Each structure stands twice: as structure tokens, then as C-alpha cells.
Amino acid sequence: MDGIVPLFKERGMTSAACVARCRGIFQTRRVGHSGTLDPNVDGVLPVCIGKATKLVNYLMASGKIYQGEITLGFATETEDLDGAEIARQPLTRPFTTTEIVAAMEQLVGDIVQIPPMYSAVKVKGKRLYEYARAGEKVDRPQRLIHVDYFKQRQVATFDSQTGLQKIYFEVGCGKGTYVRTLAVDLGKILGVPAVMSDLTRLKSGGITVGQTLTLDQLQQAKDQDKLDQVLLPVATALRDLPAVAVTSDQWRIVKNGGFLALPEYQDKTKVTLTYHGKVRCVYQYDTQRQVFRPETMIDLSE
């Protein structure tokens, strides 16, 4: 069985635990997810089954959409509510909508981001969270990320007794973006400590939250022998690439890892090749040779 599970990851579970459950439900070890969600975050987690695991990177490269909440007035070591508080500065007045929007606009486009210490980014062979838990300091690598938009989805609220203000946001962003860090950076622009206090992923890999199923619903589908009905096709991960149906002669070349000319697609960086209605592989354009060559082989069966 090959395809993509449009999974809704519930809070309190790790992404790895979701993959383990899917291995049991689908009775295969060929399972992988496309983009970790922290345990306290829920939402869309595309899970690849069988031959679709070869396409995890394509799903991860697609844009993601989140909605959530940022609390201004205190900060934590993890940049979310899971960590210990490290700073508190109650607001004497709420920020206006104009001030919030102006700060958000500074975090749109291509920006440099430093990943949080409590993250899985590797430095010198160790995860950053391993350094953090050991109390060790290490230089974190800067990374260039892209934010399509960062906006309020409703008017911010202010608690005059606690001095805390909550911003309700939606963000569209590219691969590698830490939304926790966007929350902290927004606070820095406004001059106050901040923390991401709630987060849900609405879209990932072209899959929206409205398409998703919970693990319990997947188990029910298995019990009813309907798992094949809940899987999205492998082609879902490649929806943004042109699909080229190859001839029998071209298929023989493809099976041997050969190059194809495909002159009508030379303005494309990559294409998906299909044969007998099945997605077979992804080919990328070689500008020096002016031909397409194999990038990812998916299904070479007859």
C-alpha cells in the first residue's frame, strides 16, 4: 500500500509516536512524516506510506500555514509554554494594532532566523536540545527562511491585571521556519519578552486541516478494511510539478536511469514522469547537457 496519510496530529503526542502508530496500522516499516510538530502543537502532519516515503523531501519543501497565539510580557527557555520562564516584563499599556502590524511586517519575506536552543537542529553532531539540557552553550547557525505573510486574525487582547497581551496570528512560511522564534522575534521588535502560547498547523504539503483524519479514525478505517480509501495518491507530493506521460521507448530508457531530451519542458526545473497512469520518478533538468536526468526514482515496476 503506497500513498500519503493526511493525518491530524493531536496534542500530547510526538511526531515520532504518530509514525509508530501508522506503522502498526498499515503493517509496514516504510513510514515517514514530512515535518516535525512539537508535542504541544496540533494540526496537519502528512505521513508517507510505502513508496511515498521517497517523496518526504518534496512535501517538506512546500509551504506551510499556521495559526496561533503569541503572549507578550514574558518569555521561556523553549520559546513556548513547555519551558521554564526566563523573563517577565508586564506591559504598562497594550500595543496598538498599528504597532503590531508594523512589527509583523518586518518579519515577512526572506529573513535570517536563529533556531531555538530547544530544537532538533544539529551542531557538531549533536542536537541543540542536547546542549540545552546539559546546560552547555553553543553557537547556533543562522539560517535564511522565507515568510510569505504574517498577520493578525483577530484583534489582540490585553489583561491590565497581569500586564499580558495576546496576539492572534496566521503565518504562511517556507521550510525550516520556527514559528516559536517568530513569536520571540516579534517581541524583540516591540521591545518586550514574548512566547508562542498556542499553535496549530493548518496546511502542509498541499494538505489542509479539513482533509485530515485522526489516528483513531485511521484505526477505524483499518477495522473496516478501508485504509486504501483514506490514502492520498503518491502524486499529491508532486502536484506542483508538470506531469509527463512517457512512451514505451522512453520508459525503457527511464528504467535504466537514462537521460531524456523532452525539449517542450526545457523551461522547467523538474518534471514528474508517469507510465501506465502511475507516477514513476522525478527528473531534473541538466542545463549543461540540455537533457533531463533522474533525481528520484519512485516506482519502476511494470
Catalytically annotated residues = 38
DSSP conformation class of 238: G
CA angle 18, 21, 22 (to 5 degrees): 85
Buried b (16+ CB within 10 A) or exposed e, 244-261: bebeeebbeebeeeeebe
3 in Cβ contact with 234 (< 8 Å): yes
Helical spans, DSSP H, in 140-236? 179-190, 215-223, 227-230
Q: Count the neighbouring beta carbons within 10 Å of the beta carbon of residue 180.
A: 26
Three cell numbers, residue 221 = 478505517
CA 184, 190, 192, 195 dihedral sign is: negative
Give residues with Cβ within 8 angstroms of 132, minimum separation 6. Answer: 77, 117, 118
CA–CA dist 56, 61 (Å, integer): 9
Pick from 278, 284, 287, 288: which is nearest to 3 by CA?
278
Grid cell 519502476 — which residue? 300
Q: Is 116 helix (H, G, I), strand (E, B) or coil?
A: coil
221 in Cβ contact with 227 (< 8 Å): yes
As a 3-state breakdown, the chain gives helix, strand, coil percent values, each rounded to 5, of 25, 35, 35
